[in-house]
Structure formats: structure tokens, C-alpha cells
Chain A
Amino acid sequence: MATAFKDETGGAEAPTQSEAVVIRFAGDSGDGMQLTGGQFTLSSALAGNDFATFPDFPAEIRAPQGTLFGVSAFQINFGSSDITTAGDRPDVLVAMNPAALKTNVGSLREGGLIIADTGEFSQRNLDKAKYTANPLEDGSLAKWQLMAFDISALTLESVKPFGLGNKEALRCKNMWTLGLALWMFGRKRQPIIDWLNAKFAKNRVLADANIAALNAGHAYGETAELSGPLKQYNVEAAPAEPGVYRTVTGAEGISYGLVAGAQLAGLKMFFGGYPITPASAILHHLARLKEYGITTFQAEDEIAAIASAIGASYAGQLGVTSSSGPGIALKGEAMGLAIMTELPLVIVNSQRGGPSTGLPTKTEQSDLYQAIYGRNGDAPMPVIAARSPADCFNCAIEAVRIAVRYMTPVMLLTDGYIANAAEPWLVPDMDAYKPFPVEFMEHVPESGRFLPYERNQWGGRPWVKPGTPGLMHRIGGIEKAQNSGHIDYSPANHEMMTKLRKMKIDGIADDMPEQDVTLGEDSGKLAIVGWGSTFGPIHQAVRRQRAKGQDVHHIHVRNIWPLPRNLGDLLKRYEKIIVPEMNTGQFKTVLRDQYLVDARPLNKVSGQPFTIAEIEAAIEQALA
């Protein structure tokens, strides 16, 4: 239950017990809402809560102040039980200005709490948010609880001793608000104070002012004897596997997974990238890890990014490139080159809303066709999709393993939601991972003849590093003769090579786990089949519906191409199949094509993740 936050106790003395709470911080792009959310997340982690976050910000870096399109929000769902989504509807909305209230209040659950800064509800800001009357005063917020007070003035008061200018002083508002939120949920301030001290190490005054604002917000909750809805809530720690935990975003999970994959393969890594939202974070992370044998190269464009990675793979390193949909489109021809020359390569696609520039900062799963099919010619390529920030780590390792064993490019799909969202992560024990060291060919084989396109047990060809004496050979994008690798346009050879390339990729299905049922049984009335970041809402929706006795089951597919061997048979054991996707039904079509099953779509393309309720409604309708 993500929405157990209710005003059940009358008094303000004893903290209200809640299983899970959803809180959304919303403000202007310049208000520091992402920082506030990030620090609140950290405090949730340290309190032992399970959580999931959803940062939602505009594409503009600093949109004009006070405008509707300049609103930046951060939502966190935290609780004492298993949390897999950022929560359908917030229980608490912190609105730093009228625009933030207007764009976010609609999703607040009925009876939820609004905390608003009256100091920002000037006529000018109300006009910018297109309010004809002040919503804090006209009764239009009656179905929610409202706590409106002048956070701006209270912040200015609290930082007065530090002599900041008005503008700088007001920028401490987010820390004041965070202080209040920390009080509400009984959180420790010290970790945030430590963070502020580190962040403003070079500017003592700013550090002190922000800490003072944080303390003032906390003290406000503690001392202001309010009989209103503002009160303390207690969310117990969530039961979790023992071990060391940290928070992880998808971009971090991918980066660390790639590092781990390269180490397990015994390779140095070359990462060719070009800045693009929301994929750049991976380049940023890896650029700081040179001691792990990583060379990062910010190329002149997306094509050079992948082409340089292919060059590095050719020279014997693990070539990696990363982008988002528009950049992936530019890399298409080079992916074909890696397929034709049979070189290992990992391509990370952090999907965003499309087509074209689309919605750079919003999430979507609409690059599935592009990943599976988006190249000229018959160009089969493995595709793996991560389901959550923590899952990114293992998916990246698997992508590396497949790339080097089968001498093939591999597409690793994540999305804007996973890339930015954070969740707790049980830090993996690296000793538990089996290494898969690469063996380069270094001598002419015993047969006495070196054949660059001779195939091994996996269907792959030998990987020879330039610089190796006696094994000079030429590769390229032109069709190659089987074994010798010489140019060969002959009809029979092209037919055979096309089939060999396909067989090699199809064969990977023998080398990966069979499809399991994530939740439920291996037959029944309704299967909800998902992939990627829809995992969270699907899982919760199926769990809730099963608790109500519904015959519904969750199948989450990680290996998108090739598909698991048994998936077709498994799907045929359910009467109905629904595929929820943040696109217009791409995986649904793939499943229909591959298995002739009556998979039905459930689609959402608003740039926002599914809510649990949306999927529950679809389940109820299908089983009615």
C-alpha cells in the first residue's frame, strides 16, 4: 500500500504510523527541488526505508521564473514494505509557487496535504501560473488539506545573520523546506548538515546559511503549535536482506556494471560518447574512473562516438557507446558495421520520448523497434532491457558477456525514468560473479591456416588484436566470405552469411535463463507481460490484484532479443495477455509476430510512468 498516509489520529503528540508515504517537492527550476528530493531520498535510505523516486524536470535549463513550463518536481515513495514505484498519487505536495501548485495538485490524492509558500503567491506569480484568483484563498483546494505559510519570509528571517543578498537568501528556501520535511518524518538532520558542509566547503557563509535554514524549518515543525494538518509521521524501516546498501540511479548502475563487465572479461574499456539527455550521466561517471582502465572519449558527434568504440574493439578493448533515441538513430549504420565485422560492442540507449527531439527529459519505451529492427539489411543484434536502477548493474554485465562471447554488438535499453531515478541497492559481492575472460587469438591455429571468419562453438569469429605477428588480415563492411573473410558478393555466400549471422544471435537463447514467472503461476487467466521500467507498477498492480483473489500473473522479460526459448509456450498457457508499455504497442507486436498469441496492448505515452492504479484497472476490466 503506497497510500496508507491518513489523518487518523487527532492529536499532534504521537507520530502517526504509516506504512508508506508519497511526497512530491515541486517548485521553479531554480528552486533546487532536485537537490531537495535527492537529500530527502538519502535521509529515507539512512532511516532504513525502502523507496523509489521520480525526478521530473523540464528540458529547459532555467525556464523563465514562475512559469508553468518551468516547474521542476521530485517525487519519492518511501515505506516500511517493498516499494517498486515512485507512487501513483502523492500524499504530500510541497508547492513552492503557484505554477508548481497548478501543475501538480491534480495528482495529489484526495485528502492529501498541500504545503505552500504564501510568499510566492503574489499577483504577478498568480498571473504567470494563469490563476484568476488566489487558490489558497478561494476555496478551490477544499478537497485537500492546506498548510499555507510564508516560507520565503521565514527563510529570510532565519538567514538574516549571514548578511546574504535577498536573492541568495531566498535560495535557502529549499533547505528550510527540507528541514520541515525531515521533522515531519522524524529524520536526522546530521547527514544533510554534513552534505551541506561538504558542498559549500569553499563558502562558509553559504554553508552556515543553508544549515540555519534547514534548522529553522525543522524547528518550525517542532515548536509552532499548529493545530492544523501538519504533524509527525513515523515510517518504520523496511525489512531487507542483510548487507551493505547504498542508493543507486540507473546511470550509476549502468556505469558500474560496465566497469564490472570489463573486469570480468579482463579487458580495458573504451567509451565513446556524445552529450545527450538523458544519457550523458554515464559518460560523466565513467570519465572519473580512469584508474579502472577506462578511456572516455567525447567525440565530435554520435557517429564518431560509436565508430571510435568500434575502432577500440577492433584494437582489442571493450568498445562502449551510449546515447538516447535520436543519437541511436545516427549510430545505425555503424551498428551494421559492427554486425558485419563481428566485433564486440555495447550500445546503451537511455530512451526518451520521441520521435525526433521529442521529450528530452521525459521517459518512454518507444525505441524497442529501433533496438530490434532499426538497421539496414538483415542485421540481428541482441537486446537487453533493464527494469530498475539496481537491475542496470547486472544487465550491463550480461551485455558485456554476450558481446565478447558472441563477437557482436549488444543493445542495452534503459530509459529516462530509470536513468535518473534512485533506489536502495544491496551492494553486490563481486566475488560472486564468474569471470568470463576473453581469449584473443595470438598464433596461427594448429590447422596451419588462420581464417578470420572461421566460427567457434558460439558461432563467433576469432578476435585478433592488430599488432599480433603473423595474423594480419582485413575486415570491413562489405560482405565477407565464410572462413577467409575475403570480399565475396556471390549469391550463395551472402545467403549463407546472412543465415550464420542470424543463427549466431538466435543461439544466444540457449545461453541465457529460461523465462520465469515473476509473480504468480505458470498458467492461468491473465498474464501481464512487461519489459523495462514498467516492472514496478506492473508488479505492484499484480500483487494487489492477486491479494484480492484475481487470477493474474506477472511475466517480466529482460532478454528482448533473442527472446527466451520457452516464452512462447509459457504465454500460450494463459487465457489472456496484456502488455503494458510506454509506447503504442511495440513489444505487443513483437510477441504477436513471434508466437501468434493474442497479446493486447495497454499503452501510455504521456512521458510519465504508469501508475499502479492504471494497470489495476486494466486487470479488473480484463477479468470482469
Chain B
Amino acid sequence: MNDMTPIKATTPKDWETDQEVRWCPGCGDYAILKAVQRTMPEIGATPENTVFISGIGCSSRFPYYMETYGFHTIHGRAPAVATGVKLANPELDVWIITGDGDALSIGGNHTMHLLRRNLDCQIMLFNNEIYGLTKGQYSPTSRIGTNSPSTPYGSVDRPATPCAFALGSGARFVARGFDVSKNLPEVLKAAHAHRGAAFIEIFQNCIVYNKDVFEDFAAPKGAEDQQLWLKDGEPMLFAKGLKGIALDGDALELKVVDVVDGDWQAAGVIVHNVTNRSIAHMLVEMRFGEFPMALGVLYDDPRPTFNDAVVEQNRAVSEGKVADLSNLLVKGQTWTVADGPEL
């Protein structure tokens, strides 16, 4: 008898549940779900050691469709629940599924602190720039002027930039993708390979309340001109190599430059270095239109994780100590009342 259970390779099918998927037909969430189910076997994940934790919103139904452990929590609190799960059992592979309203509005505080602490997990923020499940109100990422039931004359407040928020909160891994992108599994794999909090913004098309809002860069037609897929160690080129991103040294900001005869060095195009935090700050702030949309792994520079630090401190301060409750109770000053005749 061999008591070693061989790890059976999984297939995408093994990660599907028997539950009927309840998203609107055509929703971008379907593509993301497929991408995740395709990625899990490739990263060697096991269903029993994987936990998907979500908040509230359309995207947060995600765990019900993954044949893993899953916890559909309350609005905005998935990062806090995930922190308890990971600290209680650091062996678990924790994925947080959240949306723009869940992660940046009601749960903004938890998202910030999870990133600051650097809990080892993946955070997939489905950004559709709208509140879908509550029927279409504008969200913290909606563009100025968004018409919605709660903003019938157009929204007037400035939107948040999720990746800039993440980086500003101390994230050590920031990436971007979009629902139907063929590159999404690669982005997810990179996030999973990063030890620490890995923040992934995924642009997701809400076909009912905010249809095609990312079409300017996500549409297959013209994608070459509008998408800058970043790769570590490679020049930041787009538009079939005819354009690139360079640094304007005087203004200390990025600029688009033309590349002539493929000589990107001469054009001053930057080579992407995923550990360069200064450039990462500029990439997340690049205004789409003037620039292409920066996609892929924008920043990846691991640091010690919160869960490792907690486990290590628990271990170190417990070393050599005996957990004897009876001793603990008589620590400090005590006195004895003797057994004897009635006083």
C-alpha cells in the first residue's frame, strides 16, 4: 500500500460546480469565470486548498460557480474575512473576488489595509464602472457625466483609478486585464506566482447598465493601437511597434513617441521593469486617449507577507514557553487560604 496520494492533474471541467450560472447572458463575468477555470489546472492548484471569498455584487456570485471552498460574504468585507481565513490557515490559496463598488466604495478601507499589510492572496477586482446588481447606479469608477438612476443629470464626482489606489495603498503587485482578453490567464498566473497581495483590475463589460464602456480599447478592431501589453524586460511598444512609451525627463512624465525603422532605442522607449515603482506610478495614471491602455503586469516586486510575519512572531514568542493554563492563572501575586477550622 502506498499512502502517498498522487496529485491528480485537474482539467477546467473539474473547477465547475453543478450550479446554474445566474449572470445576464453576454455578461463579461462569464469570460472571466472561464479564464479562471482554465488557469487553475495550469498553476497546479487543488480544489480543496483553494478558497474564493467575495463581497456583494454581480461579480461576488463567482464563488458559487467554482468547485472549491467558497465564501460569499457581505458588502465590502471580503478582504477582512480573507484575512481571518489566511491567518487561521496560511496553507490555503485565497482568491478575493470583488467589484468597483464593493472594493473601492463600501469596502475601500479593507482593500487599502489588506494591500498595506500584504496578505498573501489574489484580489480580482471586476471593474464595470457601474452598480449592476442594484440596477445601474453610478459607481466610484464611473466617468464624470455618467447618467444613471441616481445621477439622472450626469455624475459630477471624479472617479477613482483602481490600480493607482492599489499602488498608493502599498500594493507590491498590480496588473490589469479585461474580460474577453486572451491574455487574462497569463495575468492571473503571474498574480498567483507573486507571493503577497496581488491586485488585478479586470475591465468587465456590463451589457445591461454600462454596455461597451471599454470598447475604445477592448474591441478587437484597432486593439493594436489602443492596448499597451507590458512585459518585463521588453520595450513598451504598441501599434505594431510603430509607437512606444518614453520618459519626458524635463516634465517627469510619460509620453508617446514614434518609432522609426524599429529603432525603439533611438526613440527612447522605456524597457519595462516590473520592479520599478516610480514608472509603475506613471503607468497606472496614464490617461487613456492620450495614451494607450496599460495592460498586463504593471508592477511586481514582492516583499515579506503579513501572514508570514504573524506566523513567525507567534512562533518566536511562543518558543520555550509552556501553554499551561493552570500556571497562567496563578501568575503574579496570589495568597492561600488554608484548610482549617471555621474562622
Q: Are B335 and A46 in contact (CB under 8 A)?
A: yes
Does A163 count as interface, using CB distance less than 8 angstroms?
no
Q: Which chain B residues in 108-129 approach chain A with CB under 8 Å?
A: 109-110, 112-113
Nearest A residue (CB) for B72: A476
**Residues of chain B contacted by A315 (CB below 8 angstroms):** 84-85, 88-89, 92
Q: Are B87 and A475 in contact (CB under 8 A)?
A: no
The residue that B83 contacts in the complex, of A48, A290, A293, A311, with Cβ under 8 A, is: A311
> Chain A 484-503, CB within 8 Å of chain B: the 1/0 string?
00110000000000000000
Q: Are B48 and A304 in contact (CB under 8 A)?
A: no
Nearest B residue (CB) for A301: B109
Q: Are A470 and B48 in contact (CB under 8 A)?
A: yes
Does B219 count as interface, using CB distance less than 8 angstroms?
no
A486 to B61, alpha carbons, bound, how many Å? 12
Q: Are A244 and B83 in contact (CB under 8 A)?
A: no
Q: Are B335 and A270 in contact (CB under 8 A)?
A: no
Indicate whether A242 sits within 8 Å of B334 (C-beta atoms), given known contacts A466-B89, A472-B47.
no
> Chain B 66-79, CB within 8 Å of chain A: the 1/0 string?
01111111100101
In the complex, how many angstroms separate the beta carbon of B114 from the nearest chain A beta carbon?
9
A165 to B70, alpha carbons, bound, how many Å? 64
In the complex, how many angstroms separate the beta carbon of B91 from the nearest chain A beta carbon?
6
Stretch from A117-125, A154-162, A255-263 that touches the partner: A255-263
Q: Are A469 and B330 in contact (CB under 8 A)?
A: no
Q: Which chain B residues in 285-338 approach chain A with CB under 8 Å?
A: 310, 313-314, 317-318, 321-323, 325-326, 328-330, 332-338
Indicate whether A295 sits within 8 Å of B310 (C-beta atoms), given known contacts A240-B337, A245-B335, A311-B84.
yes
**Residues of chain A contacted by B87 (CB below 8 angstroms):** 270, 295, 297, 308, 312
Indicate whether A486 sits within 8 Å of B333 (C-beta atoms), given known contacts A291-B322, A300-B109.
no
**Residues of chain A contacted by B110 (CB below 8 angstroms):** 300, 303-304, 307
The DSSP consensus for interface residues of chain A is mixed
Indicate whether A308 sits within 8 Å of B81 (C-beta atoms), given known contacts A300-B109, A472-B69.
yes
Indicate whether A430 sits within 8 Å of B326 (C-beta atoms), given known contacts A245-B337, A475-B72.
yes
Does B82 count as interface, using CB distance less than 8 angstroms?
yes
Of listed A341, A468, A477, residue having the most chain B CB within 10 A: A477
The residue that A474 contacts in the complex, of B72, B82, B310, with Cβ under 8 A, is: B72
Of listed B47, B313, B343, residue having the most chain A CB within 10 A: B343
In the complex, how many angstroms separate the beta carbon of A264 from the nearest chain B beta carbon?
10
The residue that B71 contacts in the complex, of A247, A470, A474, with Cβ under 8 A, is: A474
Q: Are A300 and B85 in contact (CB under 8 A)?
A: no
A162 to B80, alpha carbons, bound, how many Å? 53
Does A246 count as interface, using CB distance less than 8 angstroms?
yes
Does B340 count as interface, using CB distance less than 8 angstroms?
yes
In the complex, how many angstroms separate the beta carbon of B23 from the nearest chain A beta carbon?
13
The residue that A314 contacts in the complex, of B47, B85, B318, B336, with Cβ under 8 A, is: B85
**Residues of chain B contacted by A314 (CB below 8 angstroms):** 71, 81, 84-85, 88
Q: Are A468 and B337 in contact (CB under 8 A)?
A: no
Does B339 count as interface, using CB distance less than 8 angstroms?
yes
Q: Are A290 and B329 in contact (CB under 8 A)?
A: no
The residue that B48 contacts in the complex, of A244, A293, A303, A469, with Cβ under 8 A, is: A469
**Residues of chain B contacted by A244 (CB below 8 angstroms):** 330, 334-336
Nearest B residue (CB) for A333: B74
The residue that A312 contacts in the complex, of B84, B91, B314, B343, with Cβ under 8 A, is: B84
**Residues of chain A contacted by B339 (CB below 8 angstroms):** 242
Does A225 count as interface, using CB distance less than 8 angstroms?
no
Q: Are A291 and B71 in contact (CB under 8 A)?
A: no
Does B166 count as interface, using CB distance less than 8 angstroms?
no
A472 to B113, alpha carbons, bound, how many Å? 29
Q: Which chain A residues in 288-321 approach chain B with CB under 8 Å?
A: 289-293, 295, 297, 299-301, 303-304, 307-317, 319
The residue that A307 contacts in the complex, of B51, B56, B80, with Cβ under 8 A, is: B80
Does A59 count as interface, using CB distance less than 8 angstroms?
no
**Residues of chain A contacted by B328 (CB below 8 angstroms):** 256, 259, 289, 292
Q: Apart from A45-B333, A303-B110, A476-B72, what are 6 other A-B pairs with CB-CB below 8 Å?
A: A239-B343, A242-B338, A311-B83, A315-B88, A476-B73, A487-B64
Enumerate the 3 nearest inter-chain pairs by beta-carbon distance, A residue then B residue, closest first: A311-B84, A476-B72, A308-B84
**Which residues does B use to contact A, with CB under 8 Å?**
17, 19, 47-49, 51, 53, 56, 63-64, 67-74, 77, 79-89, 91-92, 109-110, 112-113, 310, 313-314, 317-318, 321-323, 325-326, 328-330, 332-340, 342-343
User: Could you pull out 11 A-B pairs where Cβ atoms are within 8 angstroms?
Assistant: A242-B340, A246-B332, A291-B323, A299-B113, A303-B110, A304-B110, A314-B71, A319-B84, A336-B74, A467-B49, A474-B71
